[in-house]
Structure 1
Amino acid sequence: MQYENPQALLDYAQSFAGFTLGELCERYKEQIPQQLLHKKGWVGQFLEMILGATSGSLAQPDFPEIGVELKTLPIDELGRPLESTYVSVLPLTNIQGLRWENSVVRHKLMHVLWIPIVASRDIAIENRQIAMPFLWQPTREEESVLKKDFEDVLDQVSMGRIEQVDARLGDILQVRPKAANSKALTDAIGPDGSTIKTLPRGFYLRPQFTKQCLLKQFS
Structure 2
Amino acid sequence: MEQDSTLASEKKAPMLIVDEISVSYGHIQALKKISIEVYPQEIVVLIGANGAGKTTLLSSILGVRAPSSGKVVFEGKRIDKNSVDKNVRAGLCLVPEGRGVFASMSVLDNLLLGAHHNLANKDKNLARVYEWFPILRKRKDQIAKTLSGGERQMLAIARALMSDPKLIMIDEPSLGLAPIIVNDIFDILVTLNKEGYTVLLAEQNAFKALNCAHRGYVLETGTISLSGPSSQLLNDPGVKAAYLGA
Q: TM-score range by the shorter chain?
A: 0.3 to 0.5
- Which has the larger helix fraction? 2
By relative contact order (CA 8 Å, sep 6+), the higher-ranking structure is 2
The normalised TM-score by structure 2 is 0.32
